[in-house]
């Protein structure tokens, strides 16, 4: 399996608006490069592009969302690291043959798919594989 790059890093936050006030001056930004709500994942996201890598602040939209559960268990902080691959399903198949446990299957996001390797296998890190093309950075 070939990793193209670090795709993005996600920070779990309790309050996205307050977190933006803290992070944007450090990032040299006045607004996210991409802000969105992902209903199936129960998250509201502010994404910033830094050297071709996404840096995301994520807030749960519901008390039972994965971000809310993460914060309840571990507090705010780095929740996820994502690696960009050419094909999520091919990467999953290769790693499953090597006994890497995935949380569910491939999930849709915009024009791509992503999946999660269980953090128990990855030294406590939730690792995402995603085949996002980053066309907006090619413009």
Q: What is the pTM of this model?
A: 0.91
Give yes or no for a contact between 115 and 92, defined as CB atoms under 8 angstroms apart. Answer: yes
Domains contained in the chain, CATH given: 5-137 (3.10.180.10)
pLDDT tens for the chain, 139 residues long, are 899 999 999 999 999 999 999 999 999 999 999 999 999 999 999 999 999 999 999 999 999 999 999 999 999 999 999 999 999 999 999 999 999 999 999 999 889 999 999 999 999 999 999 999 877 766 6
Report the 10 Å Cβ neighbour count for 44. Answer: 20
User: Which 8-state DSSP code applies to residue 89?
Assistant: H
Secondary structure (3-state) at 83: strand
Query: Rounded to an integer, what distance in angstroms lies between the CA atom of residue 95 and that of residue 137?
Result: 29
């Amino acid at each position: 399996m070939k990793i193209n790059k670090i795709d993005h890093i996600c920070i779990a936050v309790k309050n996205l608006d307050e977190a933006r006030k803290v992070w944007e001056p450090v990032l040299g930004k006045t607004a996210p490069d991409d802000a969105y709500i992902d209903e199936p994942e129960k998250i509201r996201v502010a994404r910033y592009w830094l050297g071709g890598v996404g840096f995301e602040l994520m807030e749960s939209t519901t008390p039972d969302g994965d971000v809310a559960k993460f914060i309840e268990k571990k507090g705010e902080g780095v929740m996820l690291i994502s690696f960009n691959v050419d094909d999520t399903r091919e990467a999953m198949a290769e790693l499953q043959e090597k006994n890497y446990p995935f949380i569910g299957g491939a999930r849709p996001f915009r024009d791509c798919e992503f999946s999660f390797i269980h953090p128990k296998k990855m030294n406590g890190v939730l690792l995402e594989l995603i085949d996002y093309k980053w066309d907006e950075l090619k413009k």
